[in-house]
């Protein structure tokens, strides 16, 4: 039987304009913001897509956790069109805690650059709970969900809000497939206090020019975090939506102390593994 060659894309009609007049192609992402939920991933995505060399998918495709059976071509079809000089980026924060995600991303491309936005796991858990509470007002208290046994200080690691913050544990799965040099960690805290500095490092990691600088940000006192002076699309100032920067639920300081103790060994292991001290202690 004759060997079936892969179908070539049709040649552009003769006399079609060269270069950028064609809208570019949809490409699989070269960089993915893989985590973590309530860490600052939306801010990183909105900030990085201001860069002319970056095109980003606005919604979370959840391909490597929930939609994997739809196949890579489905995934590709969601992507924005890019020119050869541009990087395609997507973000789905649940990938970081998905067992299969590292292998699946590796199988797509072992060169994928991974961005993980981390923040103090205690405040991350409270933020996570606050978000859930806004959608389901009748859930148990934070304390009730945190402990299997409060008097013994036994933390319930099966509760997602707690489990996500055990960064060192999840990171191990990623390091089975990707070298640390391909994973960049963004400090969720510094993203608020020094957005230009943190985004400078992200641009370096992606191998693109440092275009996003101090000039792009102003601090919004009401929201309590930085906003863009000009957005990618409209050229108008752009703050993240109402669901961001919610006032956290008040938690008993003793509970916070117990959680700090619980996370400490995980944090220390995480700092040692990535060679970066996030100062959560």
**DSSP assignment string, 91-158:** E-GGGGG-TTHHHHHHHH-TT-EEEEEE--HHHHHHHHHHHHHHH-TTSPPHHHHHEEETTTTEE-TT
* Backbone torsions φ then ψ of 91, nearest 5 degrees: -135, 135
Report yes or no on 55 lying in a domain.
yes
Among candidate residues 224, 222, 157, the one with its CA nearest the CA of residue 188: 224
CATH number for position 48 = 3.40.50.300
Residue ranges of the annotated binding site are 38-42, 119, 127, 244-248
Report yes or no on 7 lying in a domain.
no
The overall average pLDDT reported for the chain is 92
Report yes or no on 267 lying in a domain.
no
Asked if residues 112 and 54 have their Cβ atoms less than 8 Å apart, the reply is no
Dump pLDDT digits (tens) for 2-34: 545 445 444 444 444 444 456 799 999 999 999
Residue 6 has a pLDDT of 45
Paired tokens of 209: 């020019």
Report yes or no on 152 lying in a domain.
no
Please report, in tens digits, the pLDDT of each residue of the chain (281 residues total).
654 544 544 444 444 444 445 679 999 999 999 999 999 999 999 999 999 999 999 999 999 999 999 999 999 999 999 999 999 999 999 999 999 999 999 999 999 999 999 999 999 999 999 999 999 999 999 999 999 999 998 999 999 999 999 999 999 999 999 999 999 999 999 999 999 999 999 999 999 999 999 999 999 888 888 999 976 667 778 888 877 878 899 999 999 999 999 999 999 999 999 999 999 98
Asked if residues 255 and 142 have their Cβ atoms less than 8 Å apart, the reply is yes
Q: Which residues are catalytically annotated? A: 38
Report yes or no on 146 lying in a domain.
no
**Model pTM score:** 0.90
Domain that holds residue 237: 26-122+162-243
Asked if residues 116 and 35 have their Cβ atoms less than 8 Å apart, the reply is yes
Report yes or no on 8 lying in a domain.
no
Paired tokens of 259: 């959680």
Domains identified in the chain, total number: 1
Asked if residues 35 and 68 have their Cβ atoms less than 8 Å apart, the reply is no
Report yes or no on 137 lying in a domain.
no
Bridge partners (DSSP) of residue 222 are: none
Rounded CA-CA distance 170/90 in Å is 20
Residue ranges of the annotated binding site for 3'-phosphoadenylyl sulfate are 38-42, 119, 127, 244-248
For 30, counting Cβ atoms within 10 Å of its Cβ (0-12 exposed, 13-18 middle, 19+ buried), the class is middle
Report yes or no on 207 lying in a domain.
yes
């Amino acid at each position: 039987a004759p060997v079936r060659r892969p179908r070539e894309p049709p040649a552009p009609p003769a006399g079609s304009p060269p270069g950028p007049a064609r809208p570019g192609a949809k490409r699989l992402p070269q960089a993915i913001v893989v985590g973590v939920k309530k860490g600052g991933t939306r801010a990183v995505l909105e900030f990085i897509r201001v860069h002319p060399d970056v095109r980003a998918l606005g919604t979370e495709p959840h391909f490597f956790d929930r939609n994997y059976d739809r196949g890579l071509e489905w995934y590709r079809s969601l992507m924005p069109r890019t020119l050869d000089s541009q990087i395609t980026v997507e973000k789905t924060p649940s990938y970081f805690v998905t067992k299969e995600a590292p292998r699946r991303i590796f199988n797509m491309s072992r060169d994928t650059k991974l961005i993980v936005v981390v923040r103090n796991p205690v405040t991350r858990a409270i933020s996570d709970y606050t978000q859930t509470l806004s959608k389901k007002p009748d859930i148990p208290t934070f304390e009730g969900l945190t402990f299997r046994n409060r008097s013994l200080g036994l933390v319930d690691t099966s509760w997602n809000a707690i489990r996500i913050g055990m960064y060192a544990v999840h990171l191990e799965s990623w390091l089975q497939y990707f070298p640390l040099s391909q994973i960049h960690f963004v400090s969720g805290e510094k993203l608020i206090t020094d957005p230009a500095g943190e985004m400078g490092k992200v641009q370096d990691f992606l191998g693109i020019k440092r275009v996003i600088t101090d000039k792009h940000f102003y601090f919004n006192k009401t929201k309590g975090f930085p906003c863009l002076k000009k957005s990618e699309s409209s050229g108008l100032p752009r703050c993240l939506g109402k669901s961001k920067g919610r006032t956290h639920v008040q938690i008993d300081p003793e509970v916070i102390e117990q959680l700090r103790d619980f996370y400490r060994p995980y944090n220390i292991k995480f700092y040692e593994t990535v060679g970066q001290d996030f100062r959560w202690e």
